[in-house]
């Protein structure tokens, strides 16, 4: 019976003394006194051992509960104490450190964004050679050798019959040569123009082009597709227009402008059109049966509009102070 009383007494004194122990030293002394190897709790267990066998189960259970209670109370106090006092040990005002930041190039970010918009409606992504023959870059695309349309794209030549591609449309030809309709692809990559380097033009830029060929794709579908793209890319309320234009590889051709409310003017963002039947027959497609549309856009231009960049050369300078903004 006396053990019962002792347990209660121990509980009371434990709580009282614990509440008075503040510093880590006090707490440690407290721990030794009560929970240490020769502490009060241990001596209780010693007494327990002397009990007759028939009383052992009952007290055993109670003692175990007591041990857990006391240990928990002590741990809580210790935790609290740490929360209160640890500010004395560590200076939390110091700046933190983390793994260094890297970045994805802005042009890559825009390309990825465009890719995923078109992938979400089932376009696959294809790539092709940056140096190609005249046929794939021009002739197959309905731009004959001595056609004024060649002036639209100033071309770098590697030899009289091989060029640095002036658009990614050469990939369209390679695609169509290697597979039958239906096709729904975008092609991405670098293209080259022999133009003077300035804040608004560089000797190369990145393009994303799309191609859809099947038996039914119409001008209406082209409009719907590109309206979806513009809304996803530039925001739901973007004002846009399709206006007639000319590209040798499409007919009818159009240019898409979006309204820039800051500058109060239309800005050209992409060219598009129904694939010219000559292009389809050049790759061996039956142009009476198949039709489709194609579109193309410059990534730099879109990035410049989106991020408010005024000098195209910044993209190729890789100034850390520029890159770290992305």
Residue 240 bridge partners (DSSP): 258
* By the rule CB under 8 A, 232 interacts with another protein: no
> How many Å apart are CA 26 and CA 20, to the nearest integer?
9
Name the segment binding another protein (CB under 8 A); options: 1-9, 11-19, 42-50, 98-106.
98-106
Pairwise CA distance, residues 255 & 234, whole Å: 17
Whole-number minimum distance, CB 71 to another protein, in Å? 27
- Taking CB under 8 A as the criterion, the residue among 132, 181, 271, 297 binding another protein is 132
Site for another protein in 100-119 (CB under 8 A): 100-105, 107-108, 112, 115, 118-119
Residues 6 or more apart in contact with residue 236 via CB below 8 angstroms: none
CB nearer another protein, residue 88 or residue 101? 101
Tokens of 190: 């670098």
- The residue (of 18 and 303) whose beta carbon lies closer to another protein is 303
Minimal distance, residue 12 CB to another protein, in Å? 44
Cβ contact 126:187 at 8 Å: yes
Minimum Å gap between C-beta 220 and another protein is 3
Contact 295, 222 (CB under 8 A): yes
Indicate the residue among 267 and 323 with the shorter CB distance to another protein. Answer: 323
Find the binding residues for another protein in span 30-89 (CB under 8 A). none
Q: Which of 126, 171, 297, 304 binds another protein (CB under 8 A)?
A: 126
Helix 56-85, helix 2-20: angle, nearest 10: 0
Stretch that binds another protein, among 43-51, 59-67, 70-78, 130-138 (CB under 8 A): 130-138
Cα distances from 173 to residues 132, 137, 320, in angstroms, run 11, 8, 38
- Site residues for another protein, 199-228, by CB under 8 A, read 202-204, 216, 218-221, 223-225, 227-228
Residues 187 and 238: their CA atoms lie apart, in Å, by: 25
Residues 156-185 that bind another protein (CB under 8 A): 156-162, 164, 184
Closer residue to another protein, CB minimum distance, 32 or 158:
158
How far is residue 211 from each of residues 121, 136, 316, measured CA to CA in Å? 13, 15, 28
């Amino acid at each position: 019976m006396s053990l019962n009383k002792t347990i209660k007494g121990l509980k009371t004194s434990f709580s009282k003394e614990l509440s008075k122990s503040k510093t880590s030293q006090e707490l440690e002394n407290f721990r030794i006194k009560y929970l240490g190897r020769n502490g009060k709790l241990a001596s209780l267990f010693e007494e327990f051992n002397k009990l007759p066998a028939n009383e052992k189960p009952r007290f055993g259970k109670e003692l175990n509960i007591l041990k857990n209670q006391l240990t928990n109370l002590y741990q809580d106090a210790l935790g609290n104490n740490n929360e209160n006092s640890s500010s004395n040990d560590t200076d939390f005002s110091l700046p933190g450190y983390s793994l260094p930041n890297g970045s994805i190039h802005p042009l890559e970010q825009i390309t990825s964004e465009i890719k995923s918009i078109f992938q979400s409606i089932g376009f696959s992504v294809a790539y092709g050679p940056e140096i190609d023959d005249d046929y794939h870059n021009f002739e197959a695309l309905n731009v004959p050798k001595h056609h004024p349309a060649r002036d639209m794209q100033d071309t770098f030549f590697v030899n009289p019959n091989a060029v640095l591609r002036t658009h990614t449309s050469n990939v369209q030809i390679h695609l169509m040569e290697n597979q039958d309709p239906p096709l729904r692809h975008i092609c991405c990559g670098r293209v080259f123009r022999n133009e003077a380097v300035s804040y608004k033009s560089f000797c190369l830029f990145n393009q994303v082009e799309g191609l859809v060929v099947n038996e039914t794709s119409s001008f209406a579908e082209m409009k719907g597709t590109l309206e979806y793209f513009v809304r996803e890319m530039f925001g739901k309320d973007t004002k846009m227009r399709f206006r007639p234009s000319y590209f040798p590889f499409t007919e009818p051709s159009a240019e898409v402008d979006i309204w820039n409310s800051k500058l109060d003017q239309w800005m050209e963002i992409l060219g598009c059109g129904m694939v010219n039947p000559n292009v389809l027959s050049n790759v061996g497609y039956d142009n009476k049966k198949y039709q489709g549309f194609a579109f193309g856009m410059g990534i730099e231009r879109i990035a410049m509009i989106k991020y408010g960049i005024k000098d195209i050369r910044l993209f190729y300078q890789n100034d850390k102070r520029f890159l770290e903004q992305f």
